[in-house]
Structure 1
Amino acid sequence: MKRVMIVGGPGSGKSTLARRLGERTGLPVFHMDKIHWCAGWVERARDEKDRMTHEVHIQDRWIFEGGHSSTYPERVARADTFVWLDVPVGLRIFRVLKRSVVNYGTTRPDLADGCPERLDFQTIEFLRFIWRTRHSARAKLLAVYQEPPRHLDVFRLTTKLEFDAFLRTCAERGDQDLHGTSTV
């Protein structure tokens, strides 16, 4: 395991998994939200995001969590491990609301500097986005999971128990490969 692609909808636990997996493996962790946003919740231009994600993809070792699905083909081609957090939309919405309340006014470590958590109209719009894209975003990830390239080990985690078991397996195996496992 040298290049790990962690995906899932907002609130699925991608940042938490990336951080914990990084601690266990020593792999550098990259968060798509740090690429997507500039200070003040200003979205970067698509070509700049594409360039920045490419700079991560070409590295030899990484854990890269997050979306920007237009770069999935390149990320899948470079990754050796694909972890999909396939969590129910209701739980994801609850988690997004909870983190907005708990972290209100502060910037989480997986976000760009100057992007404090907020509870406002933008939060409501984000929740609508989560609801609106729940099927289309999931379909893209399901396609990779169901027909991965030969070089890619795939994992689909749907519960906290599977999440914890995946981390335990990684910790037990250390820096060894997890080949042969298709789901946890």
Structure 2
Amino acid sequence: MMKRVLVLGCPGSGKSTFSRKLNQKTALPICYLDRLLWNSDKTTVSRDVFNQRLAKELQKPTWIMDGNYSFSLTMCLLRCDTIFLLDYPTEVCLNGVRARIGKKRPDMPWIEEKEDPEFMNYIQTFKTDKLPKLRATLNRFPNKNQFVFHSRDEANKFLDRL
């Protein structure tokens, strides 16, 4: 049974949407890592403050942790029992980011008002630059329940079966 869940994937893949749907099925509380790191003025808190906030969340008995910062991944992996990796095509992720421009979101403390070229480049290179390292880290935790979805349809079918 899932008690502490980690939802990972490229920005724009729909981690927060998946987390909310999982919350509706399981009643596990959601913690958005972006909310722990970012201030509403688009600045970040110090690494110490972030780590303190994260440690407090990780001590809770149940959660859905939404997000994957490389600097906090191992801390989350040590405590979780289940991992969902949303490994979607790059274009799906780019379109996911474009679709949320101008919309208030529960996972971010501000509204994205325009496309950020640097962020879009990060998404375009995620599969080659970040995903191999993420997979290598996940491979160090074979005792965790791990699910990888390659489309939103796959993820939604899984959620429908819960």
Contact 1:148 1:154 in 2 (8 A): no
Kindly state the Cα deviation for residue 141 of structure 1 after the two structures are TM-superposed: 2.4
Match status 1:125 vs 2:118: yes
Equivalent residues, number: 161
Letter in structure 1 aligned against 2:161: T
Letter in structure 1 aligned against 2:155: F
Distance 1:74 1:59 in 2: 14
Where does 1:107-118 land on structure 2 (aligned, <5 Å)? 107-112=104-109, 115-118=110-113
Where does 1:1-184 land on structure 2 (aligned, <5 Å)? 1-100=2-101, 104=102, 106-112=103-109, 115-119=110-114, 123-150=116-143, 152-170=144-162
| Identical-pair percentage | 30
Distance 1:50 1:166 in 2: 32
Match of 1:173 in 2: none
TM-score, structure 1 as length reference: 0.81
- Structure 2 residues not aligned, in runs of 5+: none
* SS across alignment from 2:71: helix
Distance 2:160 2:8 in 1: 19
* SS across alignment from 1:149: coil
Letter in structure 2 aligned against 1:77: L
Contact 1:84 1:141 in 2 (8 A): no
Kindly state the Cα deviation for residue 148 of structure 1 after the two structures are TM-superposed: 2.6
**Cα RMSD (Å) of the superposition?**
1.6
- Structure 1 residues not aligned, in runs of 5+: 171-184
Contact 1:18 1:65 in 2 (8 A): yes
